[in-house]
Amino acid sequence: MIQNSHNAANVFTDINGLQGIRALGKSDQDAALKEVAKQFESMFVSMMMKSMRDASNVFSEDSLFSSPEADFYQNMYDDQMAVTLTQGEGTGLAEVIHRQLMSQYGSNPDATGKVDQSQIFDRRFTGISQTIKRVEEELDKLPQRPAPVDDSNVDTNQSATTGAGTKGQSFASPAEFVAAVYPYAERVGADLGVDPKAIVAQAALETGWGKYTIKGEDGRPSNNLFGIKADSRWGGDVVSIQTHEYRQGVKVNEQADFRSYASLEDGLQDYADFLRDSTRYQSAINEQSSGQTYGHALQKGGYATDPEYGNKVERIYNGDLLNNTLNNMLNATTLENQDG
């Protein structure tokens, strides 16, 4: 196992540290390659953490805690965390990288000049899994920025509430959220003439991928994934929570009543009925808009008060998180059908 012999400051962002490795290579090539491997491991962890942060940035853009200064210090913290996670034995990636470097540049490569690729494959993916797990554990320890809530701008003549509510997590991960919502989105999307992926993208924005769903006072989910308010036309259950609205461009907190449904299927069906029955949203449905413009069409119709609503839906629609999750889910379904 590779031991960490360099100072914590000698990371890939430190020019003096890199010069030190270059000097070390003149006297001890093997030690220098070990240090290079550690640098690559630290770079990998840092890039992975940045990717994790970027995946959730769309939900923090309107947060009161979001600012260039906060992002700057968060990046510094992430860089230091990357260094810490790769100290000592690290994640195992450095050892794999070191063997690969030795096969190409070391003083004693094997007869073929190559290492055992099967061993590299096994160790590489074990190291990545361990790294992802450790990074996720560290990020989970940090206080979460509150996600902005973008709500429907419907008739404000509220019906009487049936109970106060809160916002809480209903799905363990984005993958679980997409798996639960997409089948119903396909059904109502076909009925509305709307790309189901665009419907999931909007639901992901409204709920922070299921982390901030509306719940009743007893903790039961409202199954309202689209922020549809309970106006005078609604005769079903209602949950009252504090939400955010934009009034003349200013973000303010307000108490509002929202529709509550018995199931996700009921919630998505009412969402479809809500859009179909309103003249304001006809430009968004019946295949009059593409998946990329769907959120913009809803915003133009007055669905949300957030001036960036359409852009946010579009970013999620085009983002790697949604597309990779859907691809993995659909590939798994294909394999199951083939096995069956």
**Would 102 be classed as within a structural domain?**
yes
**Rg of the chain in Å (alpha carbons):** 25
Burial per residue of 203-228, b for 16 or more beta-carbon CB atoms within 10 angstroms, e otherwise: bbbbbbbbbbbbbbeeeebbbbbbbb
User: Is residue 4 one of the residues assigned to a domain?
Assistant: no
Q: Is 227 left (phi over 0), alpha (psi -120 to 50) or beta?
A: left
Among residues 78, 150, 195, 245, the one annotated as catalytic is: 245
Same domain, 310 and 192: yes
**Would 227 be classed as within a structural domain?**
yes
Query: Looking at the structure, do residues 299 and 186 belong to the same domain, yes or no?
Result: yes
Q: 294 and 193, same structural domain?
A: yes
pLDDT on residue 194 = 96
At 151 the pLDDT is: 37
Same domain, 33 and 115: yes
Output phi, psi for 2, to 5 deg.
-75, 135
Together in a domain, 225 and 287:
yes
Tokens of 75: 């990046």
**170 and 134 within one domain:** no
For residues 113 and 174, state if they share a domain.
Answer: no
113 occurs within a structural domain = yes
Are residues 98 and 236 both part of a single domain? no
65 occurs within a structural domain: yes
Q: Output the pLDDT for position 154.
A: 36
Q: How far apart are CA 121 and CA 112, in angstroms?
A: 18
Catalytic residue, chosen from 78, 151, 206, 270, is 270
The reply to whether 309 falls in a domain is: yes
- In the chain (340 residues long), the average pLDDT of successive 10-residue segments reads 44 55 64 71 74 61 58 73 71 69 57 42 46 55 43 36 68 92 96 96 94 87 93 89 75 85 96 95 93 95 92 95 90 69
Note whether residue 5 is domain-resident: no
The answer to whether residue 155 sits within a structural domain is no
Q: Tell me the residue range of the domain where 113 lies.
A: 15-140
Please give the pLDDT value at position 193: 96
Active site residue 270: yes
Same domain membership, residue 203 and residue 113: no
The pLDDT assigned to 65 comes to 56
pTM for the model stands at 0.53
Q: How many domains does the chain have?
A: 2
My answer on whether 251 and 322 are in the same domain is yes
> Does 132 share its domain with 180?
no
Q: What is the DSSP string of 209-266?
A: TTTSEEEETTS-B----S--B-BTT--S-EEEEEEEEEETTEEEEEEEEEE--SSHHH
Residue where one domain finishes, among candidates 140, 175, 191 = 140
